[in-house]
Amino acid sequence: MYTNAQVEFLDEPTAALDAKSENEIYQHFLRENEDKTIIFVTHRLSAVKYADKILFLQNGRILGFDTHEKLIRNNADYRNMYNLQKEAYV
């Protein structure tokens, strides 16, 4: 990793972690990199709550671009996928 980069790109950075460890890693990483732009790719929608903006893709198509709260409220595909994943952890 380039140490002074203003943009960090992470591809599935917590894929092998449990939910508790994932949460701790994201909180620490974001706190230590507040002044940087961070782009991360994830299939775990629990991680998107940390994002300022979410680009929601499905089969290569953009289905939404907004905050988590607005996508939950206004995008049925996003809401359904989020709820399916949420139920798996409950």
pLDDT (tens, 9 = 90+) of the chain, 90 residues, equals 556 778 888 888 877 888 788 888 888 888 888 888 888 888 887 788 888 999 999 999 999 999 999 999 999 999 999 999 887 665
Q: Are residues 58 and 45 in the same domain?
A: no
Taking CA atoms, 49 is separated from 21, 31, 32, in Å, by: 15, 14, 17
Structure tokens at 49: 């709550």
Q: Please give the residue range of the domain that contains residue 59.
A: 52-90
Residue 31 contacts by C-beta under 8 Å, 6 or more apart in sequence?
none
Structure confidence at residue 74 (pLDDT):
98
Structure confidence at residue 72 (pLDDT):
96
Q: Are residues 36 and 69 in the same domain?
A: no
Do residues 51 and 44 touch, judged by C-beta distance below 8 A? no
Q: Are residues 62 and 75 in the same domain?
A: yes
Q: Are residues 46 and 71 in the same domain?
A: no
Q: Are residues 71 and 85 in the same domain?
A: yes
Domains in the chain: how many in total?
A: 2
Structure confidence at residue 89 (pLDDT):
63
Structure confidence at residue 30 (pLDDT):
83
Q: Are residues 4 and 39 in the same domain?
A: yes
